[in-house]
Chain A
Amino acid sequence: MTIKPKKILLLGSGGLRIGQAGEFDYSGSQAINAFKEEDIRVVLMNPNIATVQTDEKRADTVYFLPLTEKFAAEVIRKERPDAIALSFGGQTALNLGLSLEKNGVLKKYGVKVLGTPVSTIRDTEDRELFVKRLKQIDVKTARSRATSNVAEAKKAAEEIGYPVMVRSGFALGGEGSGVVRNEKDLVAKLSEVFRNVSQVLVEEYLGGWKEIEYEVVRDRADNCITVCNMENFDPMGIHTGESIVVAPSQTLSNAEYHGLREVAIKTIRHLGIVGECNIQYALHPSNGDYRVIEVNARLSRSSALASKATGYPLAFVAAKLALGYTLPEIKNSITKKTSACFEPALDYVVLKIPRWDLNKFENAAPRIGTEMKSVGEVMAIGRSFEEALQKALRMLNIGAYGLTAQKNDNFRIPDYADEIKNPTTRRVFAIAQALRDGVSVEKIHDMSAIDLWFLHKMQNIITLEHELKRKKLNPTLMRRAKQLGFSDAQLAIIKNTNESAIRILRKKLKVLPVIKQIDTLAGEFPAETNYLYLTYHGTENDVVPGKKQIAVLGSGPYAIGSSVEFDWSSVQALRTLKREGYGTIMINYNPETVSTDYDTSDRLYFEELSLERVLDITDFEKPQGVIVSTGGQIPNNLALKLEKNKIRILGTTPENIDRAEDRHVFSKLLDSLGIDQPDWAELTTLAAALQTAEKLGYPVLVRPSYVLSGAAMAVSMDKTSLVKYLKRAVDISSDHPVVISKFIENAREIEIDGVAKKGGLVVYAITEHVENAGTHSGDATVVLPPQRTYIETIRRAKHIAKGIVKELNITGPFNIQFLAKDNRLQVIECNLRASRSFPFVSKVTGYNFIDIATRAMLGLDVAGNYRTLELDFVAVKSPQFSYGRIKGADPISYVEMASTGEVACFGDTYSEALLKSMMAAGFRLPKKNVLVSLGKEENKVKLLPGIQTLVGMGFKIFATEQTAEFLREKGVKCEKVYKISTAKHPNVSDLLEKGTLDLIINIPTRAFQRESTDGFTIRRKAIDMNIPLLTNRQLADGFITALAEQKGNGLKTKSWEEYR
């Protein structure tokens, strides 16, 4: 008995943010495939325009709308779906579904919830209910009390005994949770938390216990299996999203593994979940006692990882189960012969390591703990732990060569003990340092509670490093080194030679990797799987080279600046290649992606995007060409090196890619073309830098010439700040030159995304930023078609683009960024690859830029009359920030990118699109009370009309001292509040405490500078207390105008189709 709805509403997860990243593009996309296979119409609601799931010909109807109850209810009223799927869009979709159910919307329109019933979801989400339900079947949970105010929490903590763990219910990624060691800290922490949530759990502290997770699948007939178990390298106390995770578990005995499995199945059956879920445990390291930590009744980041780790398509199967299929009725889509009702057997080790970008935020603490801060993750596959570990550390793309033998000094950690005891994002490197310094594994275990098993494996790597230093690289030693995951580059460092010399030697010694398949059942049955990895623990390849293939290099981990948009681009390239009759090879290692799905390419190499590994693969497969221009900067950086190794790069030649990348060459090129650019200079001494800055005139933009990971850009307003930056942030020297360029104030930014073929422009889209220059393009609010840019400017930008396209003989995608001020256009950046706005411009204009680019690279005819300026609607793309997760970071727009994702919405007018887009990124429209603090005079003057508009609309304005005086002078009614730092009342603190503010407009006094002032405190409070915040003048202005224009018109619930 299957349930065959005619139409399903699928809720997506919105913009990527910390705790909820691209994994839901994977799960939503698989769900759509599973539903479409049954001829069910799918309506998708997701404002994340950079996802694959929102592509044409996936869902039947797509709504790029905020994931709020109001819009969802409208979509339901309009579309009348007979079922809704809540478990494929993370916590966002689940919470939205719960509120739709609670408020009777689903009942009113007769919408059935697919899969796990709402009552079960509530049982898993409400901690008190959860504990009660598990108690019914004698399953142990951490001793815990649900509390709804600080007094209750104090009492509970006393009963349980400090230290205690506090967790907030209904939160994604453990937001607002942590270890509390005394009453004082408890009160301080909870006063903040109770503002956002109604319930906080005070729990028994389980620090040092092992953390284990099972992915469980259950069907309506009560068949129940565990698809994968995973063990955290970091014991309890570190959020699982912050932990290094290995699959399957390594240190569990049969009794522990199957004991926890039995509890998992018993629990999931009792709760009545239908579909996929995960269950997390704490396991006592010696006596085998356990506690169930939580059950997530939906697809999660862990399930995406488990799916990629085992090859079992969890989201696809969950979707089928939601339709009423039973597990035995579903085939294993990897083997196509065996049943989906089985538990994968792995014959390899999988390791996940989180990717953090905390160094992008000046004040953010690098400590990791019970709250999630990582922005992405990598997954490595090997046939030994050491092999997987060193692969994974390289995959992070943070400059690490592996666990040891590093090229740069970032991984030397003299004070390793502190970072091992109080974990930071680089604890694994601190352990390596300790081992190198001769600290015993037992001592490290005592400091960290990390199981000795893992530490011994790390010790093996360090021991071999010592041996490699002493001995000649004979075949045995070379093989041993490769089996422990040493890259050729690491060996080159140890042996003081270069990478290619090692490669040549290694080939001579016949030490070569073999290609193995991931087939879900350890070779027991033949499988036609395309899912591959390389290892040195083997003597035989599982596959033979394919024919007429092209390889696409993927984008690596999600990080700030490299997000789902590059996965989207890679997936589009694969599709076009396939359609044009090529066999496709995908190389990528990010488990949260669609590009690494089993049905996206003909061959998936879940492997490193390093020169060594790509050459290993191309040596074997001999593809006709490689595409490096769709996966962002990681593959782009490989172009020249690959070409030097005789690999054919499709599209723009690597020489020309390099001409655009090399600042000196590109600058000369612009000069020769007569194209304007901001003045700049590369300098190696402090004196020269200061002299140049003086000459250019402050403010100046300064950055390291060679951007290693995390190295920051900054705007210096004066000599003092420049000296501070040069001394502290970059340590200027001849080895570390810096680039200083004139920073142009009050300039606007526009961008061209385009595709060219053989030096001729084929299609382009021009977008404008709402924020002025100084806001990183990834953090800007982007408008298409442009609303405020003169036709003349557009024409000139196009002309410049044509010149560059011709000079660099571009074939494929490109992006050029311009500064526009007083009729003057300057080029500030040019990338000969797809940019982050490609999915946006493709979906807004209706032309798939990557499809066109790929066909151009294949030499196919792409000529056409592409109309991208005359659109009957406006689309706005907004950044999605995760400041709530980055404690201590200043939430202002800046030259360094800080957003973790983006969303986009359409509107009949610019105002409508802007409001919707901002709401889709989590902004709530104000109802009554607005606090303004406008900083310098220029801001006050420029925002005055806006504030007047707000007053006119009936908003009550509170203003900080000087802003209030200014406003009163101009006759604007407002209430004055004193700064936080004064003892006078009412001050900003009083206002915040009252909790009645709907919006805070706080423009930093000194633009583009991070500062620790009252302004910072207000902004930070706004984030921590979840009050909508505007910190950019242009955006604030645009927002107020839009709000006024839109008042009474309503925000329309129109599908993508209806705009086109």
Chain B
Amino acid sequence: MKLYLEDGTVFEGKSVGASIKSGKQVHGEVVFNTGMVGYPEGFTDPSYAGQILVCTYPLIGNYGVPDLKTLESEKVQIRGLIVSEYCEEYSHANAKMSLGQWLKDSGIPAISGIDTRALTKKLRERGVMLGQMSEGTATKTFNDPNEENLVAAVSPKKKKVYGDGAIKIIALDCGMKENIVRSLARPGVTLIRVPWDYDFTTEKYDALFISNGPGDPTQCTSTINHIQAAMHDSKPILGICLGNQLLALAAGAFTYKLKYGHRAQNQPAIESTTGRCYITSQNHGFAVDTKTLPDGWEEWFSNANDGSNEGIRHKSKPWRSVQFHPEANPGPTDTAWIFDEFLKSLKTV
């Protein structure tokens, strides 16, 4: 099986996932992640919708795939997988099946035997590229998933309610990871999980949560409008990842596309008040342009490596969001306190 990049480069390796019918191609944006564990959690993160994922860690599949209920969504979200070495013989007490089997069952193609470091360096130098996976040739045009409304594709169609606590939180699901639900749906909370474009403004609620999700945030115009309405009502807001970008857009700031994104479990984010640095899990290709934050807003976190925005907050209103993933899964749990603080603040609402 081959991976074609839009710059003409071709990588060839062994197919270890679902096969692709001859004459067919799987299109996607080729991105890389540097995490060393957590592939089942990562692959089910809806933020990967539309993307062909390159794992920089060379051995993938070591511990198989656990019970799917423990993962981040009900299906594999990546469009394709590129690895250096796929582990045929997995070993783990919790494994239910092999990674290869899971990918085959999910219809997701995967290629093993690729110089993923060479590929990663190419993506780093040129920026993320469009790509196609195919058993044969590539088509002339490369489809850009960012032109699709990926959020609409991964967002649920119906509202779902968790718990029956006094505090009612609307969670805008733009591709929300399950561990966010696990992190927020605590005793005393009613979590109302709604589709990305759901108009919640007429409902009774105490706070708004804006989830992570795939693609370009500017595609989500109706979501941005709804967030602005919540802001008008001075409702407490917490955003994560895409939620950070949507909150920034709702506040009047701008977002831009990073050259090759942050997809890793080792991103250092510095909290602006304390100067404390947290190791965070990340998966995003777009970012908030801090310089464009309107009056009343400030940067909450910044990336210690490249200075990019890692979170924003309002100076007087209870609005804040982070670019990284405090819910982890995969990745470090250092910033789980963000949920604690958010929920604690609501008790005093």
Contacts and interface: CB of A to CB of B under 8 A. Distances in A.
B59 A339 contact: no
Interface in B21-78: 32, 34-38, 40-41, 56-59, 62-63, 66, 70
Nearest to A287: B93
Given A251-B62, A252-B63, A287-B93, A347 B332 contact: no
Given A258-B37, A345-B57, A538-B115, 18 more contacts: A251-B63, A257-B37, A258-B38, A262-B333, A286-B93, A326-B275, A327-B277, A328-B304, A341-B268, A341-B279, A343-B279, A344-B266, A347-B120, A453-B91, A456-B89, A457-B89, A523-B56, A540-B118
A962 B113 CA distance: 75
24 contacts: A221-B275, A223-B276, A223-B277, A248-B36, A251-B62, A253-B92, A255-B70, A261-B333, A285-B93, A287-B93, A338-B305, A341-B304, A342-B305, A345-B36, A347-B58, A383-B58, A453-B62, A522-B56, A523-B56, A523-B117, A523-B121, A537-B84, A539-B115, A539-B118
B330 interface: yes
Contacts of A285: 93
B330 A258 contact: yes
A257 B40 CA distance: 14
Interface string A533-566: 0000111101000000000000000000000000
B91 A452 contact: yes
A384 interface: yes
A1057 B70 CA distance: 65
Interface in B229-278: 264-268, 270, 275-277
A338 B304 contact: yes
Interface in A912-962: none
Given A258-B330, A384-B59, A342 B93 contact: no
Interface in A18-55: none
Contacts of B277: 223, 326-328, 339, 341
Nearest to B71: A254
Given A343-B266, A345-B56, A526 B85 contact: no
B298 interface: no
Given A222-B276, A345-B266, A254 B115 contact: no
B275 A250 contact: no
Interface in B98-155: 115-118, 120-121, 124
Contacts of A453: 62-63, 87, 89-91
A514 interface: yes
A349 B58 contact: yes
A254 B38 contact: yes
Contacts of A251: 62-63, 91-92
A383 B85 contact: yes
Nearest to B266: A343
Nearest to A342: B268
B328 interface: yes
Q: DSSP class of B's interface residues: helix, strand, loop or mixed? A: loop
Given A254-B37, A254-B329, A339-B268, A328 B118 contact: no
B295 to A, nearest CB: 28
B348 interface: no
Interface string A615-626: 000000000000
Interface in A284-303: 285-287
Nearest to B269: A341
B117 A524 contact: no
Interface in A259-289: 261-262, 265, 285-287
Interface in A949-984: none
A253 B124 contact: no
Contact of B41 (A221, A254, A327, A342): A254
Contact of B58 (A253, A348, A526): A348
Contacts of A516: 117
Contacts of A383: 58, 84-85
Contacts of A250: 59, 62
A129 B306 CA distance: 42
Contacts of B118: 538-540
Contact of B265 (A221, A345, A349, A384): A345
Nearest to B55: A347
A349 B306 CA distance: 27
B94 interface: yes
A451 B268 CA distance: 33
Nearest to A514: B115
Contacts of B63: 251-253, 453
Contacts of B328: 258
The 4 closest A-B pairs by CB, nearest first: A254-B38, A286-B93, A456-B89, A453-B91
B59 A347 contact: no
B335 to A, nearest CB: 11
A480 to B, nearest CB: 10
A680 interface: no
Contact of B34 (A255, A341, A347): A347
Contacts of B40: 253-254
Interface residues of B, number: 53
Contacts of A341: 268, 270, 277, 279, 304
A225 interface: yes
B268 A328 contact: yes
B206 interface: no
A773 B338 CA distance: 72
Interface in A428-475: 451-453, 456-457, 459
B199 interface: no
* Centre residue among A344, A453, A526 by max chain B CB count within 10 A: A453
Contacts of B62: 250-251, 453
Nearest to B35: A345
A254 B57 CA distance: 14
A521 interface: yes
Nearest to A328: B277
A937 B276 CA distance: 74
A525 interface: yes
Interface in A303-339: 326-328, 337-339
A888 B80 CA distance: 59
Contacts of B58: 347-349, 383-384, 537
A262 B329 CA distance: 13
Contacts of A255: 70
Contacts of A287: 93
Contacts of B85: 383-384, 537
Contacts of A486: none
A385 interface: yes
A230 to B, nearest CB: 12
B334 interface: yes
B279 A346 contact: no
A258 B264 CA distance: 14
A521 B267 CA distance: 10
A253 B40 CA distance: 9
B331 interface: yes
Contacts of A338: 304-306
Contacts of B116: 347
B258 to A, nearest CB: 12
B304 A524 contact: no
Contacts of B57: 248, 345-347, 522
Contacts of A349: 58-59
B37 A253 contact: yes
B120 A253 contact: no
A296 B186 CA distance: 37
B91 A524 contact: no
Contact of B332 (A261, A384, A539, A542): A261
A252 B91 contact: no
* Centre residue among A249, A261, A262, A522 by max chain B CB count within 10 A: A522
Contacts of B41: 254
A148 B41 CA distance: 49
A258 B87 CA distance: 21
Contacts of B117: 347, 516, 522-523, 538, 540, 542
A347 B121 CA distance: 12
Nearest to B93: A286
